[in-house]
């Protein structure tokens, strides 16, 4: 099963990826962000290059699962 490219592979929230949303890469938040090496280290090899981190996880925040809507 392929990952959802609109979701962060660490926390499952929206990754706010411009490319996945169909807009130019240069419009994406990640083009001006510093990505935490520790966040990248948390990604399993199978998730690398499949979908983007969200801004919070990319900044090094501890990932938390999204709130249960039920």
Residue 70 located in a structural domain: no
Range of the domain at 7: 1-59
**Residue located via tokens 């090899």:** 45
Q: How many domains does the chain have?
A: 1
Residue 67 located in a structural domain: no
Tens-digit pLDDT profile for residues 5-41: 889 999 999 999 998 888 999 999 999 999 999 999 9
pTM: 0.78
Q: What share of the chain is helix, strand, coil (3-state, %, to 5)?
A: 25, 5, 70
- Beta-bridge partners for 14: 7
Tell me how far CA of residue 24 lies from CA of 10, 14, 16, 38, in angstroms: 24, 17, 13, 27
């Amino acid at each position: 099963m392929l990952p959802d490219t609109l979701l962060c592979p660490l926390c499952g929230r929206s990754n706010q990826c411009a490319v996945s949303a169909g807009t130019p890469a240069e419009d994406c938040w990640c083009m001006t962000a510093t990505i935490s090496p520790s966040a990248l280290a948390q990604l399993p090899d199978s998730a690398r290059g499949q979908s983007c981190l969200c801004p919070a996880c990319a900044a090094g925040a501890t990932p938390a699962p999204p709130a249960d809507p039920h």
